[in-house]
Amino acid sequence: MAVVVQSSEGWVLDACSLIDQGYSRCIRWRNGRKSQVKCRFKRRCFQILKSHYCVNASVAVEGGNTDTLQKVNKPSKKRKRKHSDLNQGEVDAQAFHEKIRSVILEGSKSLVDSARYLGYLTGATDTVTEPLPLQECSLAALCEMAKELPLVDEEEQEERTQSLAAEDGCTSHVDLFSRVTENRADEATVVTLMGEEYVIPPHTAFLLSDFTRIQPLVHYGTKFDLIVMDPPWENKSVKRSRRYSSLPSSQLKRLPIPQLASTNCLVVTWVTNRPSHLRFVRDELYPHWGIEVVAEWFWVKVTTSGQFVFPLDSPHKKPYEVLVLGRYRSSADTSISSLETPEVPVEDSRLIVSVPSALHSQKPSLSEVLKLYVGAEATCLELFARSLQPGWTSWGNEVLKFQNSSYFALTPADDPTDISKDGICTDKPAVTPASESPVESSPPLQRPTTEDS
């Protein structure tokens, strides 16, 4: 069950089960041969068994005294800084934390208690000893190399989109960098792209590029009812780790949101706990696009036993991140939303509680939560994506990162279908039997309803 708990405080999500929803049916292409496989995201990635800090006598989520939290292995020797030693950014962060502290503490306790009552977040989970998948990713570098290739003029380009694979599973024709690629099948597909295997969810569209090559997404012709973005915010830890290239906040204004958003489109932005980033989104970025802020939500990260992954009052890393939600209100926009239902008001200060991934920058899917506010048939887009979701369009210079087959457990299916006796795919396209229905979580891609402005 992907959504474990839903209440007035928010939700408890099983992030790994959310991913698996898109892979209930999966086929694999190798050397023109088609086989059916079982596909699950590796559980090891979500085995956060212990808090980064141990707790004296009580669990933080259960209302214990967070002042008694000590770092694992040895106590911290750092001197507690006085308020007068803090810079303005740290003072602002502390003030923001104090403002939301009770919401995080009380809401998390209620949600975790409800989840435990249902047998979730009890710590009773099998420990997986296999190492984490290798997280090196060369996609961003490939995007840089692709920038040397000439762009195809829109008028000269016969098709704005391309199918992921031919009938024989061949993907050699696929241009990932300058055209939107679609998996139009009713099942997930394991294919070889750029010499590596990737697992592509059903009814998915994606574009692998950076800012300089985002125009094919604009020319795709779809107005989206939901846009989620996780920008690569600038911060010291990112600079030190060099895990990915960060982006100055001011550059985000270049995103063509007004050309991508339908009327009343819900826009959701992941924001770090740095107050300057939060102010920028609320006071500059959203107004620049004609977006009205309607709510702030919080993603609360807990272990498999329901503890905060960091102490709630830690002066450094916090066990939560912020999401800013807004509605696109530009009066200049004349597009028609594909939503058939009236706009649903978005409640403020909701919590999303889940066990985080051990993989850097992998956020939980918000599809099940946000469909309450945009409808099940909404057209959905993720910007700066590092993975794909069934029924969604995704863009980013690492858009296939967590689709690499190394992150999945792939095993032969017990009862393969649509395969010839010798295991070779026939010349006829695969047809879904009438008795089988498409994947419930994967509605067909919504094609354009309006033209680009």
pLDDT at res. 341: 54
**Is residue 153 one of the residues assigned to a domain?**
yes
pLDDT at res. 141: 85
Nearest to 135 by CA among 432, 401, 318: 401
pLDDT at res. 451: 39
Amino acid at 448: P
Where does residue 52 rank: exposed (0-12), middle (13-18), buried (19+ CB within 10 A)?
middle
**Is residue 309 one of the residues assigned to a domain?**
yes
Q: What CATH number has the domain bearing residue 165?
A: 3.40.50.150
Rounded Cα–Cα distance for residues 302 and 13 (Å): 11
pLDDT at res. 138: 84
The total number of structural domains in the chain stands at 1
Starting at the earlier edge strand, list the strands of the sheet with 196-200: 196-200, 188-193, 26-30, 33-41, 408-412
Return the DSSP state at 400.
Answer: T
Where does residue 309 rank: exposed (0-12), middle (13-18), buried (19+ CB within 10 A)?
buried
Helices (H) and strands (E) counted in the chain, each on its own, are: 9, 19
State how far the alpha carbon of 450 is from the alpha carbons of 261, 284, 381, 438, in Å.
Answer: 11, 28, 16, 27
Question: How long a stretch of residues is the chain?
Answer: 453
Handedness of CA 213, 214, 218, 221 (dihedral sign): positive
Compute mean pLDDT per 10 residues along the chain, 453 residues long, and list them. Answer: 92 95 89 88 89 50 38 47 71 91 97 96 73 79 79 60 81 87 93 92 95 91 95 66 65 94 96 92 95 97 95 90 93 54 87 94 94 93 96 95 94 60 35 35 42 38
**Is residue 446 one of the residues assigned to a domain?**
no
CA dihedral 84, 86, 92, 93 (to 10 degrees): -130
**Is residue 420 one of the residues assigned to a domain?**
no
**Is residue 106 one of the residues assigned to a domain?**
no
**Is residue 390 one of the residues assigned to a domain?**
yes
pLDDT at res. 337: 54
Domain span holding position 201: 3-49+122-412
How many CB atoms are located within 10 Å of the residue 245 CB?
A: 12
**Is residue 74 one of the residues assigned to a domain?**
no
**Is residue 170 one of the residues assigned to a domain?**
yes
Rounded Cα–Cα distance for residues 94 and 85 (Å): 13
Per-position b or e across 417-432, b if 16+ CB within 10 A of its CB: ebbeeeeebeeeeeee
Query: Which two tokens mark 150?
Result: 């000439």
Max Cα–Cα distance, the chain, nearest Å: 76
